[in-house]
Amino acid sequence: MGGLIRADLKKLFKSKSLYVCMVIAAILGVSMSLLYNYFWQERGQNIALWYALMDQYNMKTDVLDEALRQIPSQNLLSYINIFFSDGALWLIGSPCICAYCAAEFNSGTYKNTVSRGVSKTKLFFSKVIVSVIEMFMLSFVYVLAGTLAAVSHVDFETDLEAGRIVFLGVIYFLLIIASASVFVMLTILFRRSGFAVAAAIAAPMLIASLIQIASMANPELSELTGYVLMNTYVTVFTSVNDGGGLKELFTAIGYTAVSLLTGGIVFRKSEIR
Amino acid sequence: MEYVLKTEGLTKIYSKTRVVDNVDMLIRPGDIYGFVGKNGAGKTTFIRMLLGLARITNGKVSFFDGENIRRARKKTGSLVESPSFYPNMTAEENIRIFCRMIGEDEKQAKSVLEKVGLADTGRKKAGHFSLGMKQRLGLALALVGDPEFLILDEPINGLDPTGIAEIRKLILSLKNEQGKTLLISSHLISELEKIATRYGIIAKGRLVEEITADELDQKCGNKTSLRTSDADRTVEILKKLFDSDKIEKSADGIVYISEKIEDIGRITNELYNNNITVKTISSTDNTIESYFIERMEGG
């Protein structure tokens, strides 16, 4: 297994797509950072305008005060939340990982290893581990580039206690593993990066739409949108901030387990071409 | 060791079509087994089942007198259909990474490449190789780990005449100097003829005949047939001119000579001098190729 992972890592670092994706991740990180800073400043000006208007017409400001209190301040954590919740990581990760995993199908190299008695399960898990590493690398570059761009205008202080920050980190960690597992599973199912990427991007939207349609008949079903993996990236920060986060934690674990199980079984049973 | 490969009733059914049908094959140590069949006869599917690339619908495969299948596959090198490698890596990098994946020593990369004539490809990426070089790289991957048994599916595809001769020499040295056993499928019967010790002919998924190279030699070759006024005396006379076991007489009185006749006049003169009239004389050239084609069609 160690040899397989080392070989897969070498293949990853030899592929140009990794470096292209990392550059795109860095550019996206910086762009997002600058864009959100601009909106933040705009928001500040608007808030000042609202207060001025309310004062002018002698209106009570309690509702606005409460609403603003619930919006996280412009600090490092809120920035990181923005990076994870905007869907950019999903959009960068899916083509990178699907292309990396599909390369083996495209070149037909699985037949070399399988015909030499290498276990398909080991081949699958090696691919998952290296894909998770790739997803972490992309996340790191994306967040780091964005954070560096934001250093000048971000307050590093936070009122979130250390334990919650660690918990938030753990959930993000598991979400990244879950996303990589989903991308690998989709590539194993479709054997082509194009189809896998299309499925990775379309499936969350399709599922969310179906839930919305279903919730017209039964409004309680709308809560299911919280279990769509892409949406979990959006809700996790607020949940942890409010003392929750377990739903997101189990969602990440669930997606990982189902993807590994499905991908592993399908690959084991499939014929190698 | 009694056998290197044994299949019993090996069958593959794809959507109700029997692509490989109940194949029993036995390959003994030191054999170069030529596996012959038309396109779509089931050769590659059969090989893919041996290597665990395709699921077996029915039947059994065993290697090396029934050794554990995973261990046996570690000792089996293969080149199936087109060669597969990482196009963005050099030949040496491809061999090294393959060694790493199957748990073999990476140091053998250079010697393996030397064997197939790819030692001096340097930094050239495998994706930029010519067809022949790609084929050699596929062969090199098959040779990694010094396997006891080699399964080569069309190993000389895309090679130029010099390349074909080199690979033939390599295959023969693998058998003669290293005692390897090989299963080679090829459309190029004339090439197989130069190396194979046994043949298996597959038609419509069924193994229609297994034959040794010696048996094949006896069945093929030039044959001259004569219809004369006295068949029995013709046989007597011809036995004086040729090796007696090369002369046969059929039930309907045709006399056959199983040898290439350089001088037909010598036969007719001898028969004429013995007052025998030659009614018809014809020569047929039953080559190995035509023998195989006949069997492959007749399956």
Q: Considering the entire predicted model, what is its pTM?
A: 0.80
Whether residue A240 has pLDDT greater than 70: yes
Note down pLDDT in tens along chain B; length 299 residues.
788 999 999 999 988 889 999 999 999 998 999 998 888 888 999 999 999 999 999 999 999 887 788 888 999 999 998 889 999 999 999 999 999 999 988 889 999 999 888 888 889 999 998 888 888 899 899 999 999 999 999 888 777 888 788 888 888 888 888 888 999 998 778 788 888 889 898 888 888 888 888 777 777 777 788 889 898 999 998 888 888 877 888 777 888 887 777 778 888 888 888 989 988 888 776 677 777 777 777 54
Q: Which of A56-70, A87-101, A193-207, B189-203 has the lowest mean pLDDT?
A: A56-70
- Chain B residues near residue A265 by CB distance under 8 angstroms: none
* List of chain B residues whose C-beta atoms are within 8 Å of the C-beta of residue A99: none
pLDDT of residue B51: 92
B86/A273 touch (CB, cutoff 8 Å), yes or no: no
Q: In order of start, what are the domains of chain B with their CATH numbers?
A: 5-216 (3.40.50.300), 221-286 (3.30.70)
Tell me which of A15, A115, A269 to substitute to probe the interface with B (most B C-beta atoms closer than 10 Å): A115
Helix (H, G, I), strand (E, B) or coil at B89: coil
Q: Which of A5, A114, A116 to mutate to test the interface with B (most CBs of B within 10 A)?
A: A116
Which residue on chain A is closest to B103 by alpha carbon? A3
Q: Pick the residue from chain A with its C-alpha nearest to B138.
A: A112
| C-alpha to C-alpha distance for B243 and A87, rounded to whole angstroms | 87
Task: Say which of A4, A15, A116 has its CB closest to residue B73.
Answer: A116
Contacting residues of B for A271, CB less than 8 Å apart: 48, 53-55
- Kind plus residue range of the DSSP H or E element containing B8: strand B5-14
Q: Which pLDDT score is estimated for A70?
A: 61
Residue in B closest to A9 by C-alpha: B97
pLDDT grade for A107, boundaries at 50, 70 and 90:
confident
Would you state the pLDDT for residue B299?
47
Q: Which two tokens stand for residue A101?
A: 């995993």
> Tens of pLDDT along A112-142?
999 998 999 999 999 999 999 999 999 999 9
Interface contact flag, B100 A6, Cβ < 8 Å: yes
User: Average pLDDT for residues A8-31, to the nearest whole number?
Assistant: 91
Cα distance from A95 to chain B (closest Cα, Å)? 19
- pLDDT tier at A248 (50, 70, 90 boundaries)? confident
Which residue, chain included where needed, has tokens 């080149």? Answer: B79
Q: Which residues of A touch B97 (CB under 8 A)?
A: 7, 10-11
Q: Give the gap in angstroms from C-alpha B184 to the nearest C-alpha of chain A.
A: 16
Structure-model confidence comparison of residues B201 and A161, the more confident one: B201
Q: What percent of chain A has pLDDT over 90?
A: 29
| pLDDT of A204 higher than 90 | no
Question: What mean pLDDT is predicted for residues A12-30?
Answer: 91
Q: For A72-81, A99-108, B99-108, B168-177, which range has the lowest pLDDT when averaged over its residues?
A: A72-81
The beta-carbon neighbor of B84 closest among A112, A117, A271 is A112
Q: Which residues of B touch A117 (CB under 8 A)?
A: 52, 69-74, 102
Interface residue of A100, A112, A114, A127 to substitute, partner B, most B CBs within 10 Å = A112
Band of the pLDDT at A158, cuts 50, 70, 90? low
Distance from CA of B160 to the nearest CA of A (A): 24
Query: Which residues, other chains included, contact A13 with Cβ-Cβ below 8 Å and sequence gap of 6+?
Result: none
Cβ-Cβ contacts under 8 Å, A114 against chain B: 51-53
Count Cβ neighbours within 10 Å for each residue of A206-216 and write b for 16 or more, e otherwise: ebeeebeeeee
Report the pLDDT value the prediction gives residue A73, as an integer from 0 to 100. Answer: 61
- Is A271–B48 a contact, with Cβ atoms under 8 angstroms apart? yes
Please write the tens of the pLDDT for every residue from A43-70: 777 777 888 888 788 877 777 777 776 6
| Helix orientation angle between B91-102 and B109-116, rounded to the nearest 10 degrees | 120
For the segment B34-50, what is each residue's pLDDT rounded down to a tens digit? Answer: 998 888 888 999 999 99
Size of interface A-B (CB pairs under 8 A): 79
Q: Which residues contact B202 (CB under 8 A, 6 or more apart)?
A: B23, B35, B36, B37, B41, B42, B43, B46, B208, B296, B299
